[in-house]
Amino acid sequence: AFEQGGLGQILVERLKLPKVKPNLTAWENLVQKIKKPAREVDIAICGKYVHLKDSYKSIIEAFTHAGVENDVKVNLHWIDSEDIESNGVADRFADVSGILICPGFGSRGIEGKIAAAKYARENKLPFLGICLGMQCAVIEFARNVCGLKNANSTEFNEDTPYPVIDLMETQIDVSQMGGTMRLGAYACDLTRGTLAFKAYGQETVYERHRHRYEVNNEYVQLLKKNGLKIAGMNPDTGLVEIVELADHPWFVGVQFHPELRSRALRAHPLFRDFLKAALQYQQEKQQKAERAEKALSTSKTLGIG
């Protein structure tokens, strides 16, 4: 609309810029796909700041970018993790095709996020956990698959018998919270044959971090033995950056913030592939419902049941 109104030409003249006709094809295609997507998909966003959606602005934008790349409109369903704690999971996720568990700090709403991760794992629902969301998935897996009752993060329970999430040893004596932060871009070496490697298509990536706690390497072998894949690690520290599930169509947890590297014309590969998996889940669910309806119709026609 701005270009059609002549704004570009006005700016060129006022700023005395070279008069070169811009190639806006990519941006025109972007706008077209946003306005007229081929399909729709429903995604649940589970967090504890959902009443102030701008808290997750970068995640919302990343879904827009990934939606364009998949030619799909993404309908976001906001789920308060504290509501899950109070009222249970019930049918909150019955109508969605994927769950994203948001980043955050502090113990409020944590058990609700853990319950959401369990639902995604048990129901084979596409899942993306970011930062704290990934840590909640690890805690859930440790408790309910590895049999580590009361496993937790020392952020929420310093006396947990199984601190599967903990401060790095080098951070324990740092008294200021900001001083214990792992901030900025860090390298991540990807494991071949994983969903992460398939998404990125390369062996090493750089992603942005903002967190204090990490997966405790003392429990990595036990987690792996029970089916948790370590899909990405920091080459310098050996810290876990990406986890996946061996027996799940698409379940990925990342310690970093992929949403911060997503761009309008270059969707982040994890968000892109998360939506692909959600679309596949949606299609299979619809096909299953159609088969069930057809079988019911046939049985009625034959007078069965």
For the segment 262-297, what is each residue's pLDDT rounded down to a tens digit? 999 999 999 999 999 999 999 999 999 999 988 888
Confidence of residue 190 (pLDDT cuts 50, 70, 90): very high
pLDDT value, residue 301: 77
Task: Give the residue-averaged pLDDT of 136-147.
Answer: 99
The residue from 102, 131, 136, 146 that is catalytic is 131
Confidence of residue 59 (pLDDT cuts 50, 70, 90): very high
Domain 38-301 sits in CATH 3.40.50.880? yes
> Are the C-beta atoms of residues 130 and 118 closer than 8 Å to each other?
no
Angstrom distance (rounded) from CA 40 to CA 35: 12
> Where would I find the H helices in 70-160?
81-87, 110-122, 132-144
- The C-alpha angle 279, 258, 94, rounded to 5 degrees, equals 35
pLDDT value, residue 179: 55
pLDDT value, residue 119: 98
Angstrom distance (rounded) from CA 185 to CA 20: 36
Element (H, E) at 163: strand 163-167
Mean residue pLDDT across the chain: 94
| Residue carrying structure tokens 């899909």 | 231
The residue from 140, 155, 241, 259 that is catalytic is 259
| Cα-Cα end-to-end distance for the chain | 60
For the stretch 200-221, pLDDT in tens is 999 999 999 999 999 999 999 9
pLDDT value, residue 180: 63
Residue ranges per domain, the chain?
Answer: 38-301
Angstrom distance (rounded) from CA 267 to CA 282: 21
Paired strand residues for 205: 188
Task: Give the residue-averaged pLDDT of 234-240.
Answer: 96
Outline where DSSP puts E strands in 14-159.
39-47, 72-80, 99-101, 127-130, 152-153
The alpha carbon of 222 is separated from its chain's Cα centroid by a whole number of angstroms, namely 24
Does the structure show a pLDDT above 60 at 173?
A: no
pLDDT value, residue 305: 59
Task: Give the residue-averaged pLDDT of 86-96.
Answer: 93
- Which residue from 106, 201, 115, 220 is spatially nearest to 163, judged by alpha carbons? 220
Percentage with pLDDT > 70 across the chain:
95
Q: Does the annotation count 140 as an active-site position? A: no
Angstrom distance (rounded) from CA 205 to CA 255: 13
What's the helix, strand, coil split of the chain in %, to 5? 40, 25, 35
Q: Does the annotation count 259 as an active-site position? A: yes
Task: Give the residue-averaged pLDDT of 188-207.
Answer: 99
The residue from 65, 209, 248, 257 that is catalytic is 257
Confidence of residue 174 (pLDDT cuts 50, 70, 90): low
pLDDT value, residue 170: 61
For the sheet with 163-167, list strands across it.
152-153, 163-167, 213-215
Angstrom distance (rounded) from CA 101 to CA 113: 7
Residues 6+ apart with CB under 8 A from 262: 58, 61, 62, 65, 66, 268, 271
